[in-house]
Amino acid sequence: MAEARTEQEFTPEQGQSEGSERPAETPTEAPAAVAPEAAVREGEAEDLAHLRAALEEAQKRADEYLDQWRRSVAEFSNYRKRVERERQEFAQQANARLIGRLLVLLDDFERAFATLPPGLMNFTWIEGLHLIYRKLQVILEGEGLEAMETVGKPFDPLEHEAVAYEEVEGAEEGQVIGEVQKGYRLHGRVLRPALVRVARAPAREPIVAQAPAEPAFSPATSEESTSAQEPASSPKEPPSADQKPPAEGQESAGA
């Protein structure tokens, strides 16, 4: 026959006593939670290192592109300056050919004015020619033409061309003493050299060696020298009586 079991009533004091009697449970799930966090941190560190390497590579490429851009800008600037300079030089050379031909007109004007009689200087048409000459000079000077000053300056083979050498007193060796034709520069370069006359030092006389001077000759000294050199002559004895004077025929024969 089954015995009827009566349920015992549970009180808080019994729960506390039972809980104190149970042993403390050790944490078994903690290591499993720590392992994923370390893996995540390692992955983040790898990603961060990768990003840093990529950033450094990108910065390096950016620096290279910036340097190449700067070089390209500098090369283009130099190219533009060189093209502009070549264009100016080409224009100057083109003008040089034309201006070189116009120099003949200036020479003709100057020669005409130099040989013009003084009585014609007051005519109005002569003054008109002077104005035309002056206007031509102003136009050419505006293009960069400049006349050379040569007289009184040392001879320069780069700017002068000697047509004659002359001996002039008071002038130094190699000094320009006259101008036959004017020289001109164009933009600082020689367009036409000047034809000039150049001073030359006077020729020196050759030095001849002179013999020692001889003493002056006088009759008194010559007689003294001859008398000193000749020995004293003995006095002549008169002929004796035994000696006969020679005959005339013998004297002539002896003569």
Q: How far apart are the first and last CA of the chain?
A: 232
- In a domain? residue 181: yes
Q: Is the pLDDT score of 34 beyond 70?
A: no
pTM of the full predicted structure?
0.50
**What single letter denotes the amino acid at residue 155?**
F
Burial of 22 from C-beta contacts in 10 A (0-12 / 13-18 / 19+): exposed
Q: What integer pLDDT is reported at residue 19 of this predicted model?
A: 47
- In a domain? residue 191: yes
Contact 180, 196 (CB under 8 A): yes
- pLDDT tens string 130-150: 999 999 999 999 988 999 999
- In a domain? residue 185: yes
Q: Which residue has the tokens 């020679």?
A: 246
- In a domain? residue 84: no
Q: Work out the mean pLDDT of the chain and round it to a whole number.
A: 75
- Partner residues linked to 199 by β-bridges: 166
Render 193-252 in DSSP notation, one character per residue.
PEEEEEEEPPPPPPP-PPPPPPPPP-HHHHHHHHHHHSPPPPPPPPPPSS--PPPHHHHH
- pLDDT tens string 45-89: 888 888 888 999 999 999 999 999 999 999 999 999 999 998 888
Burial of 61 from C-beta contacts in 10 A (0-12 / 13-18 / 19+): exposed
- In a domain? residue 182: yes
Q: What integer pLDDT is reported at residue 245 of this predicted model?
A: 52
Count: domains in the chain:
1
Q: Give the residue among 195, 206, 199 at the shortest CA–CA distance from 167.
A: 199
Strand arrangement, sheet containing 160-167: 160-167, 194-200, 176-181
Q: Give the residue among 56, 155, 145 at the shortest CA–CA distance from 96.
A: 145
Helix axes 124-142, 30-114, angle to 10 degrees: 160
Domain that holds residue 167: 146-203
- pLDDT tens string 199-238: 987 766 656 556 555 555 455 555 555 554 554 445 455 5
Q: Which residue has the tokens 């000294």?
A: 221
- In a domain? residue 8: no
* CA-angle at 80, arms to 76 and 81, nearest 5°: 120
- In a domain? residue 156: yes
What CATH number does residue 180 fall under?
Answer: 2.30.22.10
**What single letter denotes the amino acid at residue 180?**
V
- In a domain? residue 18: no
